[in-house]
Amino acid sequence: MISEAATGYLAGPVLVIGTGLLGASAALGLRRHGLDVGLRDASPTAQRVAVDLGAGHVVAAGEGFLPELVIVATPPDVVAPVVSAALREFPDAVVIDIASVKGSVLAALRADEMLDAAALARYVGAHPMAGRERSGPVAARGELFTAAPWVVVPHEGSSAHAVKVTKAAGADLGASVTQMDAAAHDQAVALISHFPQVASSLLASRLLNAPAEALALAGNGLRDTTRIAASDPGLWIQILSHNAGQLLPILQGLRGDLDRLITTLQDPQAPGATLDLAQLMSEGNQGQSRIPGKHGAPPQSFATVGVIVDDRPGQIARLLADIGEAGINLEDLRMEHSAGYEVGLIEVQVLPGRRDELVAALTALDWKVVQ
Ligand SMILES: NC(=O)C1=CN([C@@H]2O[C@H](COP(=O)(O)OP(=O)(O)OC[C@H]3O[C@@H](n4cnc5c(N)ncnc54)[C@H](O)[C@@H]3O)[C@@H](O)[C@H]2O)C=CC1
Ligand SMILES: O=C(O)C(=O)Cc1ccc(O)cc1
């Protein structure tokens, strides 16, 4: 059922091929604009779940469905043949894929003898920088793309119309539309997405034989750095192998840094060793501070206020309501709770100019504020 019909940029209909996490999320997001959304998946189960979620209706081949846009949301290995088939099945449609890698898909399409320049002109790559650790349509959310980057990746032969439709899809999904070529895109995501995934998986794999007593001490440091290690291995094997060329220099750089750290720690009292460690930690500080905040805001532009809450139902809702009633906009929020404790720490982020006001308002309401 469509809960809220609003006019968007696309006219529709739209066909989504691959109704897993990303495809079903895109379909749900576009249905909100009242668009006619068709669905197709190689897995009848994934297709049925997406239909049951209200993401659209099944479109079989040869049904006479005439999409304005086809969104291919299959795993990277099969994206190019599925895009190629869609360009041929729907000769008037713009066809985009939303795979995490762009160069390998474009190279395969360019090498495809069944596609001429006119067909290729209707293809544009796209990449929403939004996802979850879970896969499949059950995890889909219509809001998944809200405020997330939607990278439009045209090739030299993409038509202006195809680029416009690709941008319109991102805008209708509430994303922040930006444009890059395939090489720049793949290099960027190797650093900001694929490398963190590898680092997180390598880190978490070190825990395999960790004693339970050690794991029981885990706090947010370990949780933060291993969150994405829970991602779908089947998908990531494909992403990493499709972008290996861009990832390798980054991993080689990491190996150099690791070798240096190991040498330093072998004799931490040696002349220069402490300075070396200080440099390494400080370079980490500097790199981390370069990550932009919410909506691309400058990094670290918010002030943090910590509040201790009892581990009882309704406490967080009450805190948020009190912040709202104080008339202060919450920019971000995170929770820290360690096993075995009956309190948690909520860190709320607000504009620096509102910090003192928030501390005063919460203290007056008997909240335990940590300065
Ligand atoms: N999971 C994530 O966080 C993100 C994933 N992506 C990209 O989105 C794409 C889809 O990823 P997810 O939705 O996470 O995977 P998923 O595993 O949840 O969904 C993929 C769906 O494609 C279907 N499929 C496989 N081969 C097909 C074929 N030949 N024809 C039709 N359907 C086929 C599968 O049955 C499955 O339902 C991938 O290319 C991935 O790189 C992009 C951004 C984030
Ligand atoms: O969970 C996260 O932090 C992500 O960054 C998810 C994600 C995974 C794969 C992509 O291609 C894009 C985004």
Angle between helices 182-189 and 244-266 (to 10 degrees): 30
For ligand 1, atom 23: residue with the closest CA: 18
Tokens of 38: 């068709």
Ligand 2 pocket test: pick from 102, 127, 129 the residue with the most ligand atoms within 8 Å of its Cβ. Answer: 129
CB 228 less than 6 A from any atom of ligand 2: yes
Smallest-distance ligand from the CA of 235: 1
CATH 3.50.50.60 fits 14-180, yes or no: no
Angle between helices 182-189 and 103-110 (to 10 degrees): 150
Homologous superfamily (CATH) of 187-253 is 6-phosphogluconate dehydrogenase C-terminal like domain (1.10.3660.10)
Residue 4 pLDDT? 45
Residue 341 pLDDT? 64
Q: What gap in Å lies between CA 64 and CA 95, rounded to an integer? A: 17
Second-level CATH architecture of 302-370: 2-Layer Sandwich (3.30)
Smallest-distance ligand from the CA of 135: 1
pTM of the model: 0.87
Q: What gap in Å lies between CA 8 and CA 59, rounded to an integer? A: 22
Q: What gap in Å lies between CA 95 and CA 40, rounded to an integer? A: 14
Residue 258 pLDDT? 96
For ligand 1, atom 16: residue with the closest CA: 20
Smallest-distance ligand from the CA of 99: 1
Residue 46 CA to ligand 2 centre (angstroms): 21
Residue 314 pLDDT? 87
Ligand 1 pocket test: pick from 16, 41, 49, 200 the residue with the most ligand atoms within 8 Å of its Cβ. Answer: 41
Residue 61 CA to ligand 2 centre (angstroms): 31
Residue 33 CA to ligand 1 centre (angstroms): 23
Handedness of CA 275, 277, 279, 281 (dihedral sign): negative
CB 125 less than 6 A from any atom of ligand 1: no
Over its length of 371 residues, how does the chain's per-residue pLDDT go in tens digits? 344 445 679 999 999 999 999 999 999 999 999 999 999 999 999 999 999 999 999 999 989 999 999 999 999 999 999 999 999 999 999 999 999 999 999 999 999 999 999 999 999 999 999 988 889 999 999 999 999 999 999 999 999 999 999 999 999 999 999 999 999 999 999 999 999 999 999 999 999 999 999 999 999 999 999 999 999 999 999 999 999 999 999 999 999 999 999 999 999 999 999 999 999 999 999 999 999 875 566 665 678 888 888 878 888 889 888 888 888 888 888 887 655 667 788 888 888 888 888 998 899 998 888 86
Regarding an ipTM greater than 0.85, the answer is yes
Residue 319 pLDDT? 86
CB 100 less than 6 A from any atom of ligand 2: yes
Q: What gap in Å lies between CA 111 and CA 103, rounded to an integer? A: 12
For ligand 1, atom 36: residue with the closest CA: 20
Residue 245 pLDDT? 97
Which DSSP string corresponds to 161-212? HHHHHHHHHHHHTT-EEEE--HHHHHHHHIIIIIHHHHHHHHHHHTTTT--H
Element (H, E) at 305: strand 303-310
Residue 286 half-sphere exposure toward CB, CA atoms < 13 A: 6
- Amino acid (1-letter code) at residue 254: L
For ligand 1, atom 4: residue with the closest CA: 131
- Amino acid (1-letter code) at residue 168: A
CB 76 less than 6 A from any atom of ligand 2: no
Residue 67 CA to ligand 1 centre (angstroms): 20
Which residue bears the tokens 């869609």? Answer: 86
Q: How far is CA 246 from CA 27, 135, 194, 241, in A?
A: 31, 25, 10, 10
Handedness of CA 246, 250, 253, 259 (dihedral sign): negative
Coil vs helix vs strand at 95: strand
Question: What are the φ/ψ torsions at residue 335 (nearest 5 degrees)?
Answer: -115, 140
**CA 121 to chain CA centroid, nearest Å:** 28
If one counts every other C-beta atom within 10 angstroms of the C-beta of residue 75, the result is 18
**CA 309 to chain CA centroid, nearest Å:** 30
132 CA closest ligand 1 atom index: 3
For ligand 1, atom 8: residue with the closest CA: 99
Domain ranges within the chain, ordered by starting residue: 14-180, 187-253, 302-370
For ligand 2, atom 11: residue with the closest CA: 100
Residue 297 pLDDT? 63
CB 131 less than 6 A from any atom of ligand 2: yes
